[in-house]
Amino acid sequence: MEKWKKIIAGSLNNSDELAEKFGLDAGTLDKINKIFPCRIPGSWLKHFTSKNDPLFRQCVPDPAELMDSKELIDDPLGEVRFKKNEVIVQKYPDRCLFLVSGECAMYCRFCTRKRKFKEPFVITQKDIDNGLQYIMEHKELRDVLISGGDPLLLDDDRLEYILQKIKSADHIKIVRIGTRVPGVLPERITAKLVKMLKKYHPLYMNIHFNHPAEFLPDTCRALKRLADAGIVLGSQTVLLKGINDDPETMRSLMWKLLENRVRPYYIFQCDLVYGTAHFRTPLSKAQEISSALRGWSSGMANAQLVIDLPGGGGKVPVTVNYLKERDGNKLCYRNYCGEEYIYTDISEDDMEKK
């Protein structure tokens, strides 16, 4: 058995063990497990410092997950509405999601696709082939996002089968892999895997990172290996109360990403998925973080803050208003440190005269 598979087989997921280790109630844990499984990676387990540890809170079940709230639902992103078959979700004109794996190296307590894990989330070869067929037939697609679950939990052969088929379609120009593996199971980023992946350029990888403490030495090595293979690395972050909802933590996370050759891409407002009320932050927090990054840190450290709209509306930016007022063609802007500057616009009439 490959090393990474042994690590997964040995990860902590059993209620009794969890209860004992973290002083939680085994009955409550059983209830939580029925809604959403638990899997805690060994590499993280070693680093927990307390119950408020940002790594601990992301993966250890919390009784708060059992609380009801009417805004928090099964399918906050309306994926059921836009699903084309068991594994394809297409909301946008030129790109689609392709769910290829029903397993993750760690189960993040705030996962937006919790509903999928209620029953064992199984994706069959037939499902994969139906997904591939959809991609082949839909010539408007240019960009396929391979997701799940975590695609890097597939065996190399299965993943290669998928990449090779997608790549054989002339209309598909890029493939993106969405994964949390480099941060939670870096042992999976083997030389063999990377050698296979680099045959399928242009290949992009968007990696889920939420806290600077996730950059353990093995993770940094895995990122280097991926970047050296020419895979374009980006990040996705979820804004989480008590974990990364302050400008300092976010700034340091963005810098960790850049230092490890990962380009910050999105920071998501936490989706309205059931059992996550304890992770939610107000929108004003997202705006505060955006303002604290813009101008104060490298432009490259400015991930776009977005809300993935309920009901399947797609992603919209969380904006901060820098325009103070407008008088005719004179616009008064506040810059990042609050100073005011005038910009003179040109009207369409003036442009015609020139």
Binding site for ligand SF4 (CB under 6 A): 104, 107-108, 111, 113, 149-150, 180, 208
Q: How many residues bind ligand PLP (CB under 6 A)?
A: 8
- Residue 163 in contact with ligand PLP, rule: CB under 6 A: no
The half-sphere exposure of 123 on its side-chain side, counting CA atoms within 13 A, is 26
- Residue 134 in contact with ligand PLP, rule: CB under 6 A: no
Minimum distance from residue 315 beta carbon to ligand SF4 (Å) = 16
Gap between the Cα atoms of 191 and 209, Å rounded: 22
Pick 91 or 114: Cβ nearer ligand PLP: 91
- Residue 221 in contact with ligand PLP, rule: CB under 6 A: no
Helix (H) or strand (E) holding 97: strand 95-101
Pick 102 or 212: Cβ nearer ligand SF4: 102
97 interface partner picked from ligand PLP, ligand SF4, none, CB below 5 to 8 A per type: ligand PLP
Categorise residue 149: left if φ over 0, alpha if ψ from -120 to 50, beta otherwise.
left
145 interface partner picked from ligand SF4, ligand PLP, none, CB below 5 to 8 A per type: ligand PLP
Q: How far is CA 32 from CA 53, 160, 279, in A?
A: 20, 35, 16
Minimum distance from residue 316 beta carbon to ligand PLP (Å) = 10
Enumerate the β-bridge partners of residue 332: 325, 342
Residue 262's nearest CA partner among 312, 209, 326 is 209
Residue 144's nearest CA partner among 175, 121, 181 is 175
315 interface partner picked from ligand SF4, ligand PLP, none, CB below 5 to 8 A per type: ligand PLP
From 24, 88, 97, 152, residue interacting with ligand PLP (rule: CB under 6 A): 97
Residue 128's nearest CA partner among 106, 154, 104, 105 is 154
Helix (H) or strand (E) holding 88: strand 88-89
- Residue 92 in contact with ligand PLP, rule: CB under 6 A: yes
- Residue 315 in contact with ligand PLP, rule: CB under 6 A: yes
Cis preceding-peptide flag for 183 (omega within 30 of 0): no
108 interface partner picked from ligand PLP, ligand SF4, none, CB below 5 to 8 A per type: ligand SF4
Minimum distance from residue 208 beta carbon to ligand SF4 (Å) = 6
Minimum distance from residue 120 beta carbon to ligand PLP (Å) = 23
Categorise residue 73: left if φ over 0, alpha if ψ from -120 to 50, beta otherwise.
beta
Contact residues: ligand PLP, CB under 6 A: 77, 89, 91-92, 95, 97, 145, 315
